[in-house]
Amino acid sequence: MVKKFLIHGGIPLRGEVEISGYKNTAGAILSAAILCDEPSVIENIPLVTDALDQIEIMKQMGAKIEWLEEKKIKIDPKNMSPDKIPYDLFEKMRISVLLIGPFLARFKKFKVPHPGGDKIGLRPIKIHLEALKKMGVLIEENNGFYHFEAPNNFEGNKIILKEFSVTATENIMMLAASIPVKTTIEIAAAEPQVQDLGLMLKNMGAKISGLGTHTIKIEGSDKLSGASHLICPDLLEAGTFLIAIALTGGEGTIKKVNPDHLTFFLEKMKDIGVNFEASENEIYVKPSVGFIAQKIQALPYPGFPTDLQPQTAVLLTQAQGKSLIHEPLYENRFQHLQELRKMGADIEITDPHRALIFGKTELIGNKVDASDIRSGAALILAGLAAKGETIVDNIMHIDRGYEKIDEKLQKMGAKIERI
């Protein structure tokens, strides 16, 4: 039975919240563990369904999985087989696309179904396929499957991506790390999860330079070793809680966060009027009043994160004046705005990539539907700030990316429960 969140709004959040490991990093780090036949130890695993489903895929393929602690796992991939890929799980999640590079490194020949994920717009893996073909990989698509075959010998190459694709960058990095040639990735993504993966690959024996820039150079090795790695904090969870505290007029400390991963976002929060102080690994949010309308444009890192745009839209409903949201990356990322309208927000969607938000408007509790991870988080925030009761449906989307979000909010005083 699909569960829902019941939220009684209007209560300021107070206290502390600890940020979990970054879900978007976990996908790549878990995949990288496949690159060799030695065990790796991964710490700070986020207990979200996307990460747990990926671990299950690896387990069903023959990996030996041992939970050392609640969020610490040992993975022995030695006996994994491409013949045991659980296609139902693979096509359920977008993050499974990150297994393609490691599969090519380990198995050479295999087939996989189309990856799934959020329905926030067209997210074809064309960028991945074009880059892999430039590395000599043979690819065919038929009957709903992609068929991959690695060449006998990879040659060094310069791969120029057609866009700043995080997952394409990560796939090429993992494959390049496992072959003893030099590979250069131009128009590479620079996001924190890409940097975190680079650190893991270096610990495994690859030589990598340019992390955090748009040109990454890799000198790989066909004898990578197992490694230990601590997944970085979830910057999107941290941003979500910062908005939640500010939106409810609360006060609290966000712990175990890296503010350097949120530089542009935090500057925009200051412009809106959110009152906070950031230290090395904490953000203290003070009571904030009098929010100011702003223009928000989602851009690749280090720009404003597209995955914090829906949550920020809720905050802007409480800002005085006319705000503009520009979402150039995905054409279906405004589904939450339709739901916010049900709650009384004054919003005009001018085209699939732009919306105007007129504030300040009082939000009234209603029944709303979470269509993806981040829109679901945005609707929780709206429910926390709204007058009366809000029911958020289809919360399985939220559980894919947020670890026990209801329990964390409850500890800060929120009235939210699963029903």
Q: What does DSSP assign to residue 356?
A: E
What's the rounded Cα separation, in Å, for the pair 392 and 417? 10
Cβ(31)–Cβ(409) under 8 Å?
Answer: no
- Residue 278 belongs to what H/E stretch? strand 276-278
pLDDT digits (tens, 9 = 90+) for 324-371: 999 998 777 899 999 999 999 999 999 999 999 999 999 999 999 999
- Domain 23-230 class, CATH top level: alpha beta
pLDDT digits (tens, 9 = 90+) for 281-335: 999 999 998 999 999 999 999 999 999 999 999 999 999 999 999 999 877 789 9
23-230 matches 5-20+233-418 in CATH topology: yes
Average pLDDT, the chain: 94
Q: How confident is the model at residue 117 (pLDDT cuts 50, 70, 90)?
A: very low
Q: Residue 108: which residues within 8 A CB-CB, separation 6 or more?
A: 149, 150
Q: Residue 387: which residues within 8 A CB-CB, separation 6 or more?
A: 9, 10, 362, 363, 364, 365
Cβ(381)–Cβ(25) under 8 Å?
Answer: no
**Domain 5-20+233-418, CATH homologous superfamily name and number:** Enolpyruvate transferase domain (3.65.10.10)
Where do the structural domains in the chain lie, given as residue ranges?
A: 5-20+233-418, 23-230
pLDDT score at 1:
61
* pLDDT (mean) for 123-139: 88
* pLDDT (mean) for 267-275: 98
pLDDT digits (tens, 9 = 90+) for 51-61: 999 999 999 99
- Give one DSSP letter per residue of 69-99, joined into a string: ETTEEEEE-TT--GGG--HHHHTT-GGGGGG
pLDDT score at 92:
79
